[in-house]
Amino acid sequence: MQRFLDAGFELLARAESGKEFTVQEVVDRSGQSLRSFYQYFAGKHELLLALFDEAILSTADRLEEQLARQDTPLERLHTFVVEYYRMCLPAPKGRPSKNNPTPVMAEFCHQLLTAHQTEASRAFVPLVTLLETVLDDAAQSGDVPKGLNHAEVAGAILSTVMFNAAYAHTISGSEEPANGEHAATQLWAFLSGGLVTRRAG
């Protein structure tokens, strides 16, 4: 069964437009049979869900690792946003790791979010709870206002960061984020400071 997952990740990493990600292909790469596949997974959907779960877990783990290196709650919040943004950027070439979302994974993520909201919520739990703790700390230290619903805020931040990384450039028609650095900085300024000028009055 793990071999199916491995084959799945391998294929995700390479599949360009999602067209090549077929059950048959996964089965072939896994060196097992179609029969076994449907013995372990109720269908293609279940495989993708399992892959998605692992990707989210892996992302949360890597983020937690980065957070541990920061000293203050505000730095942790900043690190979360910037690093998550990096992980959500479309893979340019290099490392199509478990975290780096491929077109197939992105598309599946949307199917989940639109058509299987219960499963989607469950899958996102690791990221949401991690961010909630970061927000709790930041509220404790007064870096973010108290009294907010941190689950809701976490959902808003995650969707903002994820989809800005993935799509903002395409929507605006700007050229590629050659230096994701600049874009990440912009987004953090946006999220932390807001859009509107701070008036004296």
Partner DNA sequence: TCCCCACGATAACAGCATTCTCCTAAACCG
Partner DNA sequence: CGGTTTAGGAGAATGCTGTTATCGTGGGGA
* Interface ranges with DNA (CB under 7 A): 19-24, 31-36, 38-39, 43-45
By CB under 8 A, name the one of 166, 179, 180, 201 that touches a copy of itself. Answer: 166
Question: Distances in Å between the alpha carbon of 144 and those of 9, 20, 35, 133?
Answer: 38, 45, 53, 13
Question: Distances in Å between the alpha carbon of 92 and those of 95, 159, 178?
Answer: 8, 21, 10
Q: Identify the DSSP state of 47.
A: H
By CB under 8 A, name the one of 1, 120, 133, 137 that touches a copy of itself. Answer: 120
Q: Residue 14 Cβ, how far from DNA at the closest point, in Å? A: 14
Is residue 22 within the footprint of a copy of itself (CB under 8 A)? no
Q: Residue 101 Cβ, how far from DNA at the closest point, in Å? A: 19
In whole angstroms, give the CA distance from residue 156 to residue 148.
12
Sign of the alpha-carbon torsion through 8, 11, 15, 19: negative
Is residue 2 within the footprint of a copy of itself (CB under 8 A)? no
Q: Which amino acid is at 48?
A: L
Binding region for a copy of itself (CB under 8 A): 17-18, 74, 77, 90, 103, 106-107, 110-111, 113-115, 117, 120-122, 124-125, 128, 142-145, 149, 151-160, 162-164, 166-174, 186-187, 190-198
